[in-house]
């Protein structure tokens, strides 16, 4: 068994496992590449404090020939293995160009950012951003290279009026290192600063709920400060998703992890690496919300001396420290590392998305999973003209990025399905999606969104996250329930009022006969009766 054991490069790993990155079928592959490029462009603009101006161009560069039922066996069981198979054919090929007006990238970094997997600035910090793993855009380059053999081409201008740097890159998968095919400085670039990537890749251009247009539309909704132009394959004029807000969102601040939920192993590693000379100072430096008083409580709870040095903490003591950190009451993490969409903006977004009678939203206060702050936002739309006999449509967002795939495996879906909607007078099959004129919009903002795979399509089911989403859904659900019941009451009162109103003339006539009133008196009585009924609280 010894001979064949060897190291696997991370690029080899992801090339073979390209479905982990969102490249398991042709239409999803194209969407994933667009998404990685647009996410990067939005992140770059926001980091530079620039209002994003993003151009997405997609064109067919080779017509495919893949027949129906490619690659699979059409024959009867048993015989097929020994017969010749129908050919596999080839897929369509597209050229993707994404240009942004962000701050650009300095020449020395370009080759590794685009030509090396697991490389970047976002992984080692705690701050909300779309990208976080240092994989996305180089994975798109890898997929392009894998399916077309062509290098990715980058043009970036990091200094206004300075030269733009052009790179053509291949990824050496065996070593996970960039190979520079071509490097030059060029003058031409459409913005003062910014980056353009050009990529050729196999794919299929699809419409519908999981298509590129829908992704861009939802992205524009969650990012009203961005202007996005999209030229579809064969399209002559670009479709413009116009800017609705003319301010760059406030830059989220980078924070330290919160003491709750930090793993023991991580704590031991941090203790070994710190420059602090006392554990109390270490706690205050490495974690947020640790004051002198909190540090003292933790050390007391752990039974450790105040003056102890981090280097002298042995495993058993670290364990006590870890338990104490999770036992002492500590303030919730700061919220300025997160940039929630906001209650009003969510309702505005939802209104563009669906027509309904009632809208409500909530931005919950931040919570923590594994030491990472996160914040859940929920908005609901209810009532006509939404169809009453279909499962509620659910819009999922993570750090302002719409999630279109893998709904079944997402914590948001699990939270929706495990909420008791019947309490709010909304139908629900057992353990299923609620049915009725309802649309659900959930956003998770976090310094680290735990996705179920590198393709970032669904949120992993951490208990703390599911619980927070459910609390948000319940809060909004209660308001919808109140709306539904109020409307039922109004309808009921209206029915009663109609009924009484119909008999008002008869009552007035009866009173006229009994009290012997004249025409004018009778009319007055009728008016008084009608006014009284109208003002009645019982209505």
Q: How far apart, in whole angstroms, are the C-alpha atoms of residue 280 and residue 259?
A: 13
Q: How far apart, in whole angstroms, are the C-alpha atoms of residue 355 and residue 484?
A: 17
What is the full DSSP assignment across 335-354? STT-----HHHHHHHHHHH-
Beta bridge partners of 58: 96
Residue 156 dihedral angles phi and psi, to the nearest 5°? -140, 135
- Following CA atoms 348, 353, 358, 363 in sequence, which dihedral angle do they give, to the nearest 10 degrees? -50
Closest CA to 301 of 282, 318, 320: 320
319 vs 509, beta carbon nearer its own copies: 319
Beta bridge partners of 228: 54, 241
Nearest approach, Cβ of residue 311 and its own copies (Å): 16
188 vs 463, beta carbon nearer its own copies: 463
15 vs 232, beta carbon nearer its own copies: 15
Nearest approach, Cβ of residue 216 and its own copies (Å): 23
Ramachandran sector of residue 71 (left: φ over 0; alpha: ψ -120 to 50; beta: rest): left
- Quick count: other Cβ atoms within 10 Å of Cβ 356? 18
The CA-based diameter of the chain, rounded to the nearest angstrom, is 115
Q: How far apart, in whole angstroms, are the C-alpha atoms of residue 206 and residue 6?
A: 40
Nearest approach, Cβ of residue 120 and its own copies (Å): 6
232 vs 442, beta carbon nearer its own copies: 442
Beta bridge partners of 202: 93
Structure tokens at 50: 């620039």
Nearest approach, Cβ of residue 514 and its own copies (Å): 57
Nearest approach, Cβ of residue 450 and its own copies (Å): 5
Residue 32 dihedral angles phi and psi, to the nearest 5°? -60, -45
Q: How far apart, in whole angstroms, are the C-alpha atoms of residue 6 and residue 233?
A: 44
Nearest approach, Cβ of residue 129 and its own copies (Å): 12
123 vs 503, beta carbon nearer its own copies: 123
417 vs 522, beta carbon nearer its own copies: 417
Beta bridge partners of 255: none
106 vs 490, beta carbon nearer its own copies: 106
Looking at residue 392, the DSSP 8-state letter turns out to be: P
282 vs 369, beta carbon nearer its own copies: 369
54 vs 110, beta carbon nearer its own copies: 110
Residue 166 dihedral angles phi and psi, to the nearest 5°? -105, 130
Nearest approach, Cβ of residue 47 and its own copies (Å): 7
Containing H/E element for 368? strand 367-369
> To which residue do tokens 């200094």 refer?
159
Containing H/E element for 390? none
406 vs 428, beta carbon nearer its own copies: 406
Closest CA to 11 of 98, 179, 139: 139
469 vs 525, beta carbon nearer its own copies: 469
Nearest approach, Cβ of residue 146 and its own copies (Å): 4
Closest CA to 284 of 325, 240, 228, 233: 325
Nearest approach, Cβ of residue 172 and its own copies (Å): 9
Nearest approach, Cβ of residue 279 and its own copies (Å): 16
Classify burial at 177, counting beta carbons within 10 Å of its beta carbon; exposed 0-12, middle 13-18, buried 19 or more. middle
Nearest approach, Cβ of residue 70 and its own copies (Å): 7
Q: How far apart, in whole angstroms, are the C-alpha atoms of residue 278 and residue 350?
A: 51
């Amino acid at each position: 068994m010894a001979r064949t054991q060897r190291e696997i490069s991370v690029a080899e790993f992801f090339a073979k496992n390209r479905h982990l990155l969102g490249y398991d079928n042709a239409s999803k592959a194209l969407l994933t590449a667009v998404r990685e490029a647009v996410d990067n462009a939005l992140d770059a603009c926001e980091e530079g404090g620039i209002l994003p101006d993003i151009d997405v161009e997609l064109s067919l560069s080779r017509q495919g020939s893949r027949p129906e039922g490619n690659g699979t066996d059409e024959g009867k069981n048993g015989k097929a293995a020994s017969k010749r198979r129908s050919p596999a054919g080839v897929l369509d090929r597209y050229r993707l160009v994404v240009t942004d007006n962000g701050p650009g990238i300095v020449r020395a970094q370009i080759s590794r950012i685009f030509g090396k997997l697991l490389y970047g600035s976002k992984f080692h910090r705690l701050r909300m951003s779309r990208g976080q793993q240092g994989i996305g855009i180089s994975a798109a380059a890898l997929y392009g290279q894998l399916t077309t053999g062509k290098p990715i081409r980058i043009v970036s201008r990091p200094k206004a009026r300075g030269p733009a740097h052009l790179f053509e890159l291949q990824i050496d998968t065996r070593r996970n290192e960039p190979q520079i095919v071509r490097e030059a400085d060029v003058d031409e670039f459409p913005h003062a600063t910014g980056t353009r990537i050009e990529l050729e890749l196999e794919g299929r251009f699809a419409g519908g709920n999981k298509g590129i247009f829908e992704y861009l539309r939802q992205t524009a909704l969650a990012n009203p400060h961005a202007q996005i132009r999209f030229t579809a394959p064969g399209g002559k004029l670009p479709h413009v998703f116009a800017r609705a807000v003319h301010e760059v969102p406030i830059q989220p601040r980078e924070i330290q992890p919160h003491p709750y939920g930090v793993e023991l192993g991580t704590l031991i590693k941090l203790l070994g690496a710190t420059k602090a000379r006392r554990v109390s100072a270490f706690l205050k430096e490495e974690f947020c919300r640790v004051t002198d008083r909190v540090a003292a409580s933790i050390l007391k709870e752990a039974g450790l001396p105040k003056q102890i040095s981090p280097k002298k903490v042995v495993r058993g003591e670290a364990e006590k420290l870890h338990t104490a950190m999770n036992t002492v009451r500590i303030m919730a993490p700061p919220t300025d590392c997160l940039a929630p969409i906001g209650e009003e903006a969510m309702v505005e977004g939802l209104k563009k998305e669906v027509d309904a009678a009632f809208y409500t939203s909530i931005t919950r206060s931040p919570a923590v999973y594994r030491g990472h702050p996160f914040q859940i936002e929920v908005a609901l739309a209810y009532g006509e003209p939404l169809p009453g006999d279909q499962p509620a449509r659910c819009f999922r967002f993570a750090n302002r990025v719409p999630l279109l795939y893998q709904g079944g495996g997402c914590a948001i879906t699990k939270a929706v399905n495990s909420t008791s909607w019947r309490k709010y007078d909304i139908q629900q099959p057992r353990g299923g999606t609620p049915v009725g004129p309802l649309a659900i919009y959930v956003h998770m903002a976090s310094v680290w969104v735990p996705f179920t795979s590198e393709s970032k399509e669904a949120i992993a089911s951490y208990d703390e996250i599911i619980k927070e989403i459910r609390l948000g859904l319940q809060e909004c659900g209660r308001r919808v329930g109140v709306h539904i019941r109020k409307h039922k009451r109004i309808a009921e009162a209206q029915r009663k009022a109609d009924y009484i109103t119909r008999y008002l003339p008869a009552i007035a006539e009866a009173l006229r006969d009994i009290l012997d009133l004249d025409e004018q008196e009778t009319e007055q009585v009728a008016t008084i009766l009608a006014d009284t009924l109208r003002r009645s609280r019982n209505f």
